[in-house]
Amino acid sequence: MRKQTVAAFEAFFTKDGPGSHVIETELGKIGVGICYENQLSYIPQIMYKESVDLLLMPHSYPIIAEMMFSLGELAAWYARLLGIPSIVCNKCGRWQAAYPGLPFYKAESHFPGLSTIADSDGSIKAQVKNEEKVIVADVALDPGRKTRQPPQTHGRWADKGKWLRNGASVVEAVGGMWYTLSRERRRKALRVSAGEKKPTVSK
């Protein structure tokens, strides 16, 4: 499963691409939105169209992004929007990284946790703060709670959200240009590809 839209500075290092967001299981259809994708309008639209029964949202989300997106409310918001159980999983702990083009500046923050299980009625069944912990809860896979009307979205975004997130779009555009034009990135990619494609000799 590939991330369809890279987030902000990720665009400097990796390229996104379309892929399936639904896994067929004996339990039912499980929808998957990867991190930043869940802020974008196509995720609720895909989940509604595919009539998924459960939504999983794995994240790698530092607290610095909280200026743009409210992670602690995301699972309950999706549960109410689609009428299905929704689960957010996020890491916790210290985060430090250099911004592309600014190698001497280190951004320091932390991952806030906020992993959450929300039931199909939108109620939060379990949530963990900034700590390593396993949470478990019973949820209802009730087709009668599923949304009958297509979810309302807001242009590029799934919800109205915070205006600061528009800055992420600018960073993504710059990062995409850098990724495309970077000779260093192409050299490294070719070197890795050459290593992976070495012929094997069978005996």
pLDDT tens, residue by residue, 73-113 = 999 999 999 999 999 999 888 877 666 665 665 667 788 88
- pLDDT at 36 > cutoff 60: yes
Q: How many domains does the chain have?
A: 1
pLDDT category at 203 given cuts 50, 70, 90 is very low
Q: Can you read off the two tokens belonging to residue 77?
A: 């918001």
Q: What is the pLDDT of residue 182?
A: 73
Asked if residue 201 belongs to a domain, the reply is no
More confidently predicted of 111 and 14: 111
Q: Can you read off the two tokens belonging to residue 64?
A: 């610095």
Q: What is the pLDDT of residue 106?
A: 66
Strand boundaries in 123-189, DSSP class E = 124-127
Asked if residue 62 belongs to a domain, the reply is yes
Asked if residue 77 belongs to a domain, the reply is yes
How far is residue 151's CA from residue 170's CA, in Å, rounded to a whole number? Answer: 26
Asked if residue 3 belongs to a domain, the reply is no
pLDDT in tens, 137-172: 999 999 999 999 999 988 888 987 665 566 667 667
More confidently predicted of 29 and 199: 29
Most confident of 22-26, 36-40, 173-177, 191-195: 22-26
Range of the domain at 100: 8-194
